[in-house]
């Protein structure tokens, strides 16, 4: 009986030790499994963080990257692209100025033709007084009515033949700069000649001619309008001699 009790006690101790060992083994496996799970999660989190950091660095580099030479050159070319207004390239100066100068030139040509005919036929000018301050015959037959042996009426006729062509709308729209230079030079010479004739009439001859005065007035107005056109539209308005530079939107920058 004593031996049986001892055997049962020994068996109980062995069973208890076996149970403790199994529990310990199970707990260690769980611990090990938990550590693995935690390590796996940490690894995955670290990989995601690394990818996020790399993406952020690449985006920052993209935002802060300087524009390429091609984009900078394209933007510079766009900034200097000339914008040509239609009213200065296709029509020249204002239409009213073209029409006004053309009509004045035609009027001056008509008066010059009449003065030339009267000079060579030695006929009296219609509606002009023959005495006092206004004396057309005295003016047209004076020595001052010739310049270098050429009648002043013929010189006026030659000028207005050229003026009709130079003041026409087609000439105002011409694309050759020489046309506009000749027009301006002709009226400058003409106004200088007119000033001389006015001086001769008032201080040398002592009389004036109404027809001559009308030609002088027309020449003066043509001079003013031509000088104004040259100052406002340039010497080559028909070919857009004056360009206004505008800024064009820059093209998209390439990375």
Closest CA to 163 of 184, 178, 177, 148: 184
- Report CA torsion sign: 149, 155, 156, 157: positive
Closest CA to 224 of 84, 101, 72, 69: 101
- Residue pair 82/245 in contact (Cβ under 8 Å)? The answer is yes
- Phi-psi region for residue 96, left (φ > 0), alpha (ψ -120 to 50) or beta? alpha
- The long-range contacts involving 120-124, CB below 8 angstroms and separated by at least 24 positions, are none
Closest CA to 215 of 150, 148, 141, 136: 136
State pLDDT tens for residues 192-239.
999 999 999 999 999 999 999 999 999 999 999 999 999 988 876 544
Backbone φ, ψ for residue 65 (5° rounding): -70, 135
> Which helix (H) or strand (E) is 43 found in, with range?
helix 2-64
- Phi-psi region for residue 174, left (φ > 0), alpha (ψ -120 to 50) or beta? beta
Cβ neighbours, 10 Å, residue 237: 24
State pLDDT tens for residues 22-56.
655 554 444 344 444 344 444 455 454 445 455 55
- The long-range contacts involving 197-203, CB below 8 angstroms and separated by at least 24 positions, are 197/144, 197/152, 200/142, 200/144, 201/139, 201/144
State pLDDT tens for residues 109-162.
999 999 999 999 888 888 887 778 899 989 999 999 999 999 999 999 999 999
pTM of the model: 0.59
């Amino acid at each position: 009986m004593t031996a049986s009790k001892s055997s049962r006690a020994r068996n109980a101790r062995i069973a208890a030790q076996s149970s403790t060992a199994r529990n310990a083994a199970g707990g260690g496996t769980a611990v090990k499994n938990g550590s693995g799970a935690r390590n796996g999660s940490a690894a995955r989190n670290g990989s995601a963080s690394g990818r996020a950091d790399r993406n952020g660095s690449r985006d920052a580099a993209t935002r802060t990257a300087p524009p390429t030479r091609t984009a900078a050159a394209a933007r510079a070319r766009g900034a200097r692209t000339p914008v040509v207004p239609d009213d200065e390239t296709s029509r020249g100066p204002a239409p009213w100025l073209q029409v006004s100068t053309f009509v004045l030139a035609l009027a001056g040509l008509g008066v010059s033709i009449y003065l030339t005919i009267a000079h060579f036929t030695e006929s009296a000018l219609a509606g002009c007084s023959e005495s006092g301050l206004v004396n057309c015959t005295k003016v047209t037959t004076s020595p001052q009515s010739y310049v270098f042996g050429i009648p002043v009426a013929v010189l006026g006729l030659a000028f207005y033949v050229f003026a009709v062509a130079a003041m026409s709308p087609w000439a105002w729209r011409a694309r050759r700069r020489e046309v506009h230079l000749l027009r301006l030079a002709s009226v400058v010479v003409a106004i200088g000649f007119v000033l001389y004739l006015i001086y001769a009439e008032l201080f040398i001859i002592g009389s004036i001619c109404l027809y001559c005065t009308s030609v002088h007035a027309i020449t003066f107005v043509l001079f003013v309008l031509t000088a104004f056109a040259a100052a406002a539209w340039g010497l080559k308005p028909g070919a857009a001699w004056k360009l206004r530079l505008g800024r064009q939107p820059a093209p998209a920058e390439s990375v």
